[in-house]
Amino acid sequence: MKYALAIVCLFFLVCAHGQAEVLVESLDGEAIPGARVQLFSIDASQGKFQLITDDFGKVTLPSADGLFLIDVRYLGFEVYADTVELSSSIIVRMTPIQMIEEMVVTAQNRATSIENAVQKITVLTAEQVQRSGSNNLADILNYQTGIRLSNDQVLGSFVDLGGVSGQNVKILIDGVPVIGRLSGSIDLSQINLNNVERIEIVEGPLSVNYGTNALAGTVNIITKKKSTRGFSVELNPYYETIGNYNLSGAIGYTQNGHSIQLDVGRNFFDGWRDGDPFVDFPRETLADTNRVRTWKPKEQYFGGLRYLYAAEKWEGSVYGKYFDELIVNRGKPSAPYFETAFDDYYHTARMDVGGTSKLHFEKSKLSFLLAYNDFRRTKNTYVKDLTTLNEVLSATDGAQDTSRFTQITGRLIFVGDIGKTLTYQVGADINHSGGQGRRIENGFREIGDYAGFVTLDWKVMDSLTIKPGVRYSYNTAFQSPLVPSLNILYRIKKLSFRASVASGFRAPDLKELYMDFVDINHNITGNKDLRAESSWNYSFYVNWIKPGRKNSLIKFEYGAYYNDIKGLITLGVLEGGEAGAFTYVNIGEYSAIGQQFSFIYRTKRLRANVNATYIGRYDPDSELSSEINSYRFSPEVGTQLGYDFILNRLHGNIFYKFNGALQNFSVNGDGIVQSSRQASYSILDASVTADFLKDRNLSLTIGAKNLLNVTDINVTGQSQGGVHTGGSSSVNAGRGTSVFLSLKYQLSINIGKDEK
């Protein structure tokens, strides 16, 4: 009998060994579901394992021998790292963090936490993107205070950051500038977020690091670089009742340091106008005035392929991406018989290829980036027979047009340390831009810009960091300004102070220098004598962070800034030209002044963010009047609330933003200041995300957008309309209330063991 009992005990011991677990909990003993547990073989013979804790904060350990490094991470807690054997169960107790620990890389010498970054940086995570139902960059930025979006149904969605227009905002994807500016700005609706890891927003000039256009701020989209070990598959279908039908997916494979990932997708929008049914599926309609849509039908195809290899001290990658968009602008039936209509087709194609390389030394790092970007936009106008649906190209002047812009970007950066207190970054930039089209002088023009820059990160003492920088560049088309900057971070206990004085600039682009835009609506000639716009930015921020009881966190922040722009490029009368002829000139001055306030409160389940800004935009008409105040102020208030239910598997979210009345200014060709006032409005969205399956591989988000049913915003005074808005007394702001469903499915299959 005793032998039988010994055999039973041995059996249970063996089973217990095979079922060893890791229990992850907080210091007060509460289980932490959804924590990421990574195990790295010390001798690299058994590879790497990545696990997610279940609803009870547990994961089952794999069957493996030897020592492993365990790495446990969860939002709101410090990283836990230790060396363990997998032969017995482990209890991991996580310590709540003392600050918000998102890591950032934009304009940093090395990746650092957001609280240790000298600049003020805002981070938007992939989780926020998913739960808000955002499909492109315009969608997610629409909630951010200090950022205003304007919509043109042909040219796209443009950004205003801190009271400064989008032509002074740098848009990057993994540090590579996005090209293809229309009316000076990037169409944010063309930047899809299907493969985004996070978005970093830096307010104020970063011209030292990134050159032209980084005057008001920089938005850097960081994409996912590689999948988990083995095979991984991701599928993301999306439906919205206003007529959005999207589908994207990715497949990846990672093994022995090699990683390859392919992602593809299609977004389709069938157009919208006021009066459409709440749920509207594509259907055939009569060829009458109903064919005209306020928000134009749009179809996008996109895809990307990336290969990455990572060794102990070196990593490199190559990638290729393609984007294709077609916007259809159907016209009203033409009088007198209403049998024909003019239809415009706007086709955009983007191609991006490039590669990166990083070499790590003991105390330094060398990185290299090379990228080629190609942007083409074609406009075709057809005369459509509404009885037969046949169409022929219109012979009207300006009805057909094709423009192509290319850019080659090369960047070499060396980062090193001098002692324990000084980190330096030395970089060289090469940017070569080309433009081609019948409206560009001689059919083709190009500009070369060659720059060098240096930044220092000097930790004077534990509480004080000073970061000076300078950039010098040579440009083949105009004289580039010398660009300096100085940023200071001072931290004492729970308080952090940030101050900066930085110069920025915006170079005149190929269109402003060489393009002649002459048709029935325009008579604009490029000006080869333009200078770069220059600016000075002064900012100050203070924040206070206090960890509370039971893993809570409270943060207050206040900031103020001033942007002063000289030599603003604007339209002016062409001297010696015919009546109504204009050109670009450096006669404008502009400035913006603003204040910001934010409050963040987080617990294990609750996330509450309240942000407010009060921005004053310079009124050029004030110089000609007796008014003392030269600025017109506009308030903004944003709130984002999130709460986790049911063992952290159900997440509720509310997104709200109030946009105060906005005064707009423009100067016409006669030098007369035109002003208009855009009424205030609010946007309100809500969503619920549910996680399914053991490892939370399946997420379903159901939400409602534009719950306040905002469509058009009234404009008083001079109309903000133009060629693309028809001179109306309102601007398009929303597409009515809608409901969306978004699904995200991820599958990982581990195969074999890593050899490295």
Give the range among 28-37, 141-150, 525-534 with minimum mean pLDDT: 28-37
Mean pLDDT of 268-284: 85
Sign for the pseudo-dihedral over CA of 332, 334, 339, 345: negative
Higher pLDDT, 522 or 647: 647
Task: Answer yes or no: is pLDDT of 690 > 70.
Answer: yes
331 in Cβ contact with 383 (< 8 Å)? no
Mean pLDDT of 112-129: 90
pLDDT at position 11: 40
* 482 DSSP 8-state letter: P
pLDDT in tens, 64-77: 777 788 889 886 67
Q: Which amino acid is at 173?
A: I
Give the range among 42-56, 127-141, 231-245, 526-540 with minimum mean pLDDT: 42-56
Nearest to 685 by CA among 143, 97, 9: 143
Q: Are strands 169-173 and 217-223 parallel, antiparallel or unpaired?
A: parallel
Q: In a 3-state reduction of DSSP, which class is residue 651?
A: strand
531 in Cβ contact with 587 (< 8 Å)? no
Give how far Cα 225 sits from Cα of 11, 197, 252, Å: 44, 9, 10
Give how far Cα 83 sits from Cα of 40, 66, 89, 713, Å: 9, 10, 13, 60
Mean pLDDT of 620-634: 70
pLDDT at position 486: 97
Could you tell me the pLDDT band of residue 755, with boundaries at 50, 70 and 90?
A: very low
pLDDT at position 636: 97
Could you tell me the pLDDT band of residue 718, with boundaries at 50, 70 and 90?
A: low
Q: In a 3-state reduction of DSSP, which class is residue 281?
A: coil
Give how far Cα 666 sits from Cα of 377, 514, 619, 655, 718, Å: 27, 23, 10, 32, 10
pTM summary value? 0.85
Domain limits of the chain?
Answer: 2-94, 223-248+257-345+352-361+374-749
Higher pLDDT, 516 or 500: 500
152 in Cβ contact with 158 (< 8 Å)? yes
Mean pLDDT of 449-458: 95
pLDDT at position 668: 53
pLDDT at position 756: 38
Mean pLDDT of 339-352: 95
CATH of domain 223-248+257-345+352-361+374-749: 2.40.170.20
Length of the chain as a residue count:
756
E strands, 574-672, in order: 582-602, 606-618, 631-645, 650-659, 662-667
pLDDT at position 754: 44
Mean pLDDT of 43-48: 66
Q: Using omega within 30 degrees of 0 as the cis cutoff, is the peptide bond preceding 336 cis?
A: yes
Task: Answer yes or no: is pLDDT of 170 > 80.
Answer: yes
Task: Answer yes or no: is pLDDT of 1 > 70.
Answer: no
pLDDT at position 3: 46
Among the CATH numbers 2.60.40.1120, 2.30.110.10, 3.40.50.620, 1.10.10.10, which is that of 2-94? 2.60.40.1120
Mean pLDDT of 47-55: 80
Mean pLDDT of 162-178: 92
Higher pLDDT, 357 or 693: 357
pLDDT in tens, 310-340: 888 899 999 999 999 999 999 999 988 889 9
Give how far Cα 505 sits from Cα of 419, 452, 622, Å: 34, 15, 25
Higher pLDDT, 754 or 745: 745
pLDDT at position 89: 81
pLDDT at position 366: 96
Q: Please give, one letter per residue, the 3-state secondary structure of 137-200.
A: HHHHHCCCCCEEEEEECCCEEEEEECCEEHHHEEEEECCEECCCCECCECCHHHCECCCEEEEE
